[in-house]
Structure 1
Amino acid sequence: MISGQTIKGSIEELGAITKVDLCVMDLNGEVIATTTDRDLLDISIIISFANSPVDSQVIGDVHLFKILDEGEPLYVLLAKGDSEHAYMVGKIGVSQLQNLIVAYKERYDRNNFFQNLLLDNMLLIDVYNRARKLKIETSVPRVIILVEIKHSQDNTAQELLSGMFAPHSGDYVTAVDENSVILIKTLSKGQSYEEVAQIATTIVDMMNTEAMLSVRVSYGTIVEEIKDLSKSYKEAKMALEVGKIFYAEKRVNAYNTLGIGRLIYQLPESLCKIFIDEIFGGKEVPDDLDEETLNTIAKFFENNLNVSETSRQLFVHRNTLVYRIEKLEKSSGLDVRKFDDALTFKIALMVINYMKYLDNKNN
């Protein structure tokens, strides 16, 4: 339903331009919005007009009009002033408000449509029938961009996204839970994942600079048909979760770049435990290592197992770095200077992070 504040803004602007007093009332004579402090007509007259078969009437210098919603009266508009001028302004006001009602209903219907579509609550035939009725193109490239917000009570993120991506360009903003906002982004032919990544990064930067919000953003794969949007949404959700577990330092995560993290995410917990026991046996697991050692190994991996470059970036002597690596080898049985052992250790770290995530989720 269109808000009273929206109606008020509309008639105040029209009244200021035309110098005509305007008032919108419901069918029971309650004032919704007005540009004057005076009572233009007695409430009984308003109620009588609302229940009459006519759509407009004039009493003295006040013109009464019905504002219709799909042929049924919803509000009554009063326009007071010079006869012809007030009549014309009243008709304009009715047209303006009826268009607003249609626009708000369409927005609500589209929002409801996309929510049910993303949650797989619609039959395939209904998807295309409703999309056609709502004038939504069904065969254009789209991608789901998911924005996770920390404060569920804050609507700022959705408002900012709605301001950035307007429906007239084919983009829609909605939400299916309290912790995230969904952008259904329509793409032009030829737009690639590189452009989608730029859009996602822009959203992170904009949320931070405009509203001081720290958000995480993820996106699924680009789909060509509207029926496949739920698939892109599920992928974006997985990318968000996998990103939090394995790539915590990244603010943007794409489903098509999750790599080995996506594989580990889909492993059962029992298989993860077997893997850790098989690799480390009774030896020290990475979870028990001190932070200095873990940071050293992380930097070593970043530099593609290059001892000299890693020691330079850590501002330590090469021999100090070698000592730390050998210390890790003694405790874990893995020499991360060798590719196979480095790969095993890297995967083990990711599996342990995943097991921690599962423990926290279950508690």
Structure 2
Amino acid sequence: MKTMNDLFILEGMKESIVLAGHRGLTRNVQFVNISDTPDIIKFLNKDHLLLTTGYAFKDDTQKLCELIRQMHALNCSGIVIKINRFLKTLPAEVKLLADDLAFPIIDLHTDHSLGEVSRHILNYLNDHEAEQLYYALHVQKEFSDMMIKGYSLNALVEQLGHFLLRPTLLLNHRGEKIAQSHDFRKESMKIIEQEIIEIIKKDLDAAREGNTYAIPSKENQSISTFPVQTKRQDNSMLVIIDSLTLPYPSSQMAIEQAGNVVSFTIIKEQAIEENSRLLKNNFFADLIEMRIQSDEEIISRGNFYGLQEDLNNICIICTVDPKGENYETLQLYEKKVGELYHSIYDKLEDEIIDAQVNATLFTKEKYFVMIVQFPDITETEMKHITKFVETAQSHLQGDYSISFGVSNAVHSLRDIPTAYHEAVEAIMNGYDLNMFGFINFYRTRELEELLKIIPKKDLKALYENTLKSLAYPKTKEDQELVKTIQVYLDCQCEISETSRKLFIHRNTVKYRIEKTEALLNCSFRDPAYSLRIRVALIIGSILEESE
């Protein structure tokens, strides 16, 4: 049975104003009559609602008071009247009587005809599906107004629970609680809340699409999930207890309308979050590009974004490999590139939370950058980081391969640029070797690797100027001289150790060293000459390898 209060969701009644008898809005409504005749009481009965212009009572307040008393005695629903048409205002005597009897008198806006309003009310009273539709639209309007006024997600969920008369939860795509109705503040419901979250986390994919589950600890009680779309790839969820037995006129349609508004509110909050993310990435770019000179500013801004000064830092970067038909197709669609990168960012956030890693996530150009912090550099910590990277890669890779570069540890926020460049170099080294979908840990380059970067003509000039006639030994004697100085330098200029390794007498070693020093016009005991000759010998092996 509908009440007077229920009618305000209808077209025409939305703008109506209750002039008197507010306490009577709980009266039932079953029939509607339209009349302007003085003897209308003959045609009224219990639960009848009267629609009138008030013409019959425009000059007789007492007649209107008498009609109200008679309708009250019959337990009628109330009067909807066009006050501005003839009465202009509701007489004070009538208002006092209606308030005393809790008999509702409602002012109908002049823009709506009695016939039009009567049709809406009758359709509402007689059509079950139409009523549910009206109610769903009413819910949608209420929630839209709340969203426009800036109500929080918790307020929206609380209001939905109030409309449905059911305990309601809002969970994110990971099954974590975002908001709840007041029901879950009770101690008895906190255990059920944990039980619900555990059930959903075991079957996240199905729950995000909408599903129904039994509550093990509560017989004959179930929960239903309803998808809430956001900017994330995976849906958030509204969780409602006993949604299969919603009180009339609530319906799945009303839940969907409320869910749409919750969706818009989450998207609005995500847009604010993206703006904050942009500021965070600007800080990281300033840090990497050395635009922040003050240590105090680095520490202050770093702390704001979760970076602590007194911890060790490892930089982990990942990127989509520029390889394959899928990647080439992707480059043609800017929107798809954006969606993919948003998806990777969200998944990396999930991986950080799931692995319980103390990490802050940034982006810089095509790279996703994680600064992982920990108190001590131990083997256990390094194993944990390695496992985290391997797990993240296995979860991220799909249509596109993803590669990771990992830096060495640095001990200060000011040194993070060094760690970042090491991680980038680790990625680039993998690509130089034509690798894809890899995890590469940075290692400090050996002298030989650094020398290979220098142009060959410069290496050759240094080599020939240093070793002179021994640069290209042609005789067996010259070859023995070169081999002797190499072993002699490797043995830290120890003659006895050199003779032992070469299986020759120590005097032979002394003779060869003296002869070589004379040829090169240097002393191997001089650290500068010694270093130069060591480098020249390494260059010789590089040149030989290249030829």
Q: TM-score scaled by structure 1?
A: 0.45
Relative contact order, higher structure (CA 8 A, sep 6+): 1
Decide which structure has the larger Cα Rg and report it.
2
Q: TM-score scaled by structure 2?
A: 0.32
